Amino acid sequence: MAVSVEAKPTAAFALSVIAGILTIVLAFVLPNSTPIFLLTDPAMQSMVQLWGAFAGLLIIAGSWLLYNNAAQRKLGSILALVFSLISLNFIGLILGLIGGFLGYSFKTTTKTQTQTSGRSYNPPNQ
């Protein structure tokens, strides 16, 4: 019996998830790591923190789409790319761009695996 197994963009998924998690964590832990750290208004800093959390969640959602759903792989990659660009976080930007581009340029290949009951014997070719 042959089982069709589709290859998945694991590296793109991992990099995008790490970018999303780092964007969320760094938005709250290090609010001065954003390019807008010169703002002294606390309301603006909290808005930047909320924007970082929102962008991080959408980067994670995009990475989930590009990993689990082959039909929406391009959409998930574009989500990860766009929201990593506007995440206001340099580390999330770099990792999200790499993961998004890897997911966008991923070529699907389908492998078939044969399941056998017991051991198979391949005699040597002469």
Please, how many CA atoms are within 13 Å of residue 123, restricted to the half-sphere of its CB? 2
- The two three-digit tokens of residue 115, written as one number: 């399941």
CA angle 9, 82, 52 (to 5 degrees): 105
Position 4, amino acid: S
pLDDT of residue 20: 92
Rama region for 101: left / alpha / beta (φ>0; ψ in -120 to 50; rest): alpha
Q: Give residue for tokens 């980067």.
A: 59
Across the chain, which has 126 residues, the per-10-residue mean pLDDT values are 71 92 84 58 76 91 89 88 87 90 81 60 72
Record the pTM.
0.74
CA dihedral 4, 9, 13, 19 (to 10 degrees): 180
pLDDT of residue 14: 92
pLDDT of residue 62: 92
CA angle 11, 13, 15 (to 5 degrees): 70
Strand 110-114 relative to strand 2-6: parallel, antiparallel, unpaired? antiparallel
Q: Which helix (H) or strand (E) holds 82?
A: helix 73-85
DSSP structure class, residue 106 = P
